[in-house]
Amino acid sequence: MRVRLGYVAIALNLPKTTSSSNVTYTLFKKLPSEKRQLEKLKTTTLNNLNNLYKILKYNVEQGIHFYRITSALVPLATHPEVSNWDYRRIFKKDFERLGSFIKENKLRVDTHPNEFNVLNSSKPTVVDNSIKNLQFHVKLFEDMNYPLGKMVLHVGSGEGGKALAIERFISNFEKVPAEIGRRLMLENDDKTFTTAETLELCKSLKLPMVLDVHHHNCNNNGENLEDLLGEILATWDKEQLPPKMHFSSPKDGALDRK
């Protein structure tokens, strides 16, 4: 069996090279003019895009063919008060360059929208904002012309009990645009939804499951992971990509969530 290892975020051998430089809305509003605001967004985004290209190039040189792209690549891309930020048009060629490099070198990339994206929230505004943020990730892949791009998401909140929370996820999932739904993967988390619970939801919605081994060690009901592995892998049977799993080295032991 061929295993392709990858990683997320920073390449330690590339000092001061991050694709996650941010512009807070507070700083954005303090800038004296719309021109200065736009210049700040453009400068930061271009630096992020160039650094992402540098990271991907480094990965190819090191024989690393899997990478998780940051959700912070384009600052304030989905902020409701930033309406004139046409980053897709401005950086069209930069996104295309990234996509061409990814495809030419047979890389695999995906994203992991942050924990504020809660598709099963009981609050409609949270669900709406989550869908908006997921749409941003879809647009990244579209602008890169990278049809294999997928997004990892946790099931989310356990509010009201897990059974009700899973019902909300299913109900809200049925409302998301198709271009989001076909790119989603679900991952078990370290506090709320176990491997077995996430697996059952994936089977119900016909979504691929990303097994996080460390999360399973932190959050399980005594299930033997080997007993679940075959069914987890089977959720990828109709996918173009092979299964993905997460492995990590906790700071203070196997059950440390840090």
Q: Which two tokens stand for residue 233?
A: 């892998």
Phi, psi of 53 (to 5 degrees): -60, -40
Q: What whole-number distance in Å separates Cα of residue 137 and Cα of residue 139?
A: 5
- The three state secondary structure string of 96-161 is HHHHHHHHHCCCEEEECCCCCCCCCCCCHHHHHHHHHHHHHHHHHHHHCCCCCCEEEEECCCCCCC
In sequence order, which residues have a C-beta less than 8 Å from that of residue 182 and are 6 or more positions away? none
**pLDDT tens across 170-210, in order?**
999 999 999 999 999 999 999 999 999 999 999 999 999 99
Which contiguous run of DSSP H or E holds residue 34? helix 34-61
Length of the chain: 258
Topology of domain 6-246, CATH = TIM Barrel (3.20.20)
**pLDDT tens across 136-168, in order?**
999 999 999 999 999 999 999 999 999 999 999
Phi, psi of 48 (to 5 degrees): -65, -45
Give the predicted TM-score (pTM) of the model. Answer: 0.93
